[in-house]
Amino acid sequence: MAVRERYQNPVLGDTINLRFFVYNSNNRANIFSISKVEIFWLDENAKTESNPDGRTLIQTFNGSAVQHVEEGQYLLQVDVEEVINASGEEAGYRIGNYVDVWYVVFEDGEEVSIGGEKSFTIYPDLWYTSDLPCIYDFSFTFSPNKIVKGNKKYLNICIESNAPNSTQLEQYYENLAVLANIKISIRVHPESSNYDATYPSRNIIVSDTAVSYREREHGYYLLDTANMEAGLYQVWFEMDFGENHFVSEKFNFQVVA
């Protein structure tokens, strides 16, 4: 069973990370409590005037099932197992589109209200046959390449398939890249004035660490430059795909005072 983010093309049998972020006046903030989370399947055959998107309740979680990850961030992990009832019909989760509705109490003494509605999709298994193994490559890009010291912001990593264009093969590669996990490493550039030649291990800022979040072909890693010296740095990424292990080129970025 794999653990996927909501925008990482989860399939039946996966565990999906449903994340919930809360802000108050531009800052991450905790809420008093989460009452429950309801998950609805959007059933095309159940659409009516009073239910225009065909919402069918699949599962309800008590607030105790939600993890408080850090300030302003909450996580509900959902096992999306396929269920066949006694009549041989699909029940529970199935391939399709879903909405998760979070019921929260923002402050002590307030009533329960809907804190937000999010969406995710469960996809079919990604089967593909070919007369060749996974021989095509991927390109990695990232931004920004200059950060002012003291900033705490997300690096945006993008994976691009180099398989032949406009083919089923390219789509297959792109979708598998979405499923793949990305790891990031950062070190002080050897030619930077703040490089420590005496103790090379002190130049390692991030080592082989999973990116914080995934969204389709993008990955995001939160970099805090508060304790980084102004100077030149190198960043690179790694990804497993099929029987291949890809390591990107080393990209340069600068922390400026």
Per residue in 101-124, pLDDT (tens digit) is: 999 999 999 999 999 999 999 998
Q: 52 near 41, Cβ under 8 Å? A: no
* pLDDT tens per residue, range 172-229: 777 777 878 899 999 999 999 999 999 999 999 999 999 988 888 899 999 999 999 9
Q: Are strands 3-5 and 15-21 parallel, antiparallel or unpaired?
A: parallel
Residues of the chain with CATH 2.60.40.1930: 3-122, 138-256
Q: Per residue in 69-112, pLDDT tens?
A: 999 999 999 999 876 555 666 668 999 999 999 999 999 999 99
Q: Measuring CA to CA, which residue among 247, 239, 231 is closest to residue 187?
A: 231
Highest mean pLDDT among 155-169, 177-191, 223-237: 223-237
Q: Which fold has domain 3-122?
A: Immunoglobulin-like (2.60.40)
Residue 209's closest CA among 234, 182, 242, 175?
A: 182
pTM to 2 decimal places: 0.74
14: DSSP letter: P
CA-CA distance, 205 to 229, in Å (whole number)? 11
Amino acid at 221: Y
**Cα distance between residue 146 and residue 152, in whole Å:** 12
Domain 138-256, CATH:
2.60.40.1930
The tokens for 40 are 């609805």
Tokens of 90: 């699909």
Phi first, then psi, for residue 170 (nearest 5°) are -65, -45
**What is the identity of the amino acid at 108?**
D
Kindly state the average pLDDT of the residues 215-244. 92
Could you check whether the bond before residue 200 is cis, i.e. omega within 30 degrees of 0? no
Helix ranges (H only) for the chain are 168-179
- Report phi then psi at 52, rounded to 5: -65, -25
Measured CA to CA in angstroms, residue 126 lies from 21, 79, 166, 206 at distances of 30, 19, 18, 32
Q: Which amino acid is at 143?
A: S
**Amino acid at site 209:** T
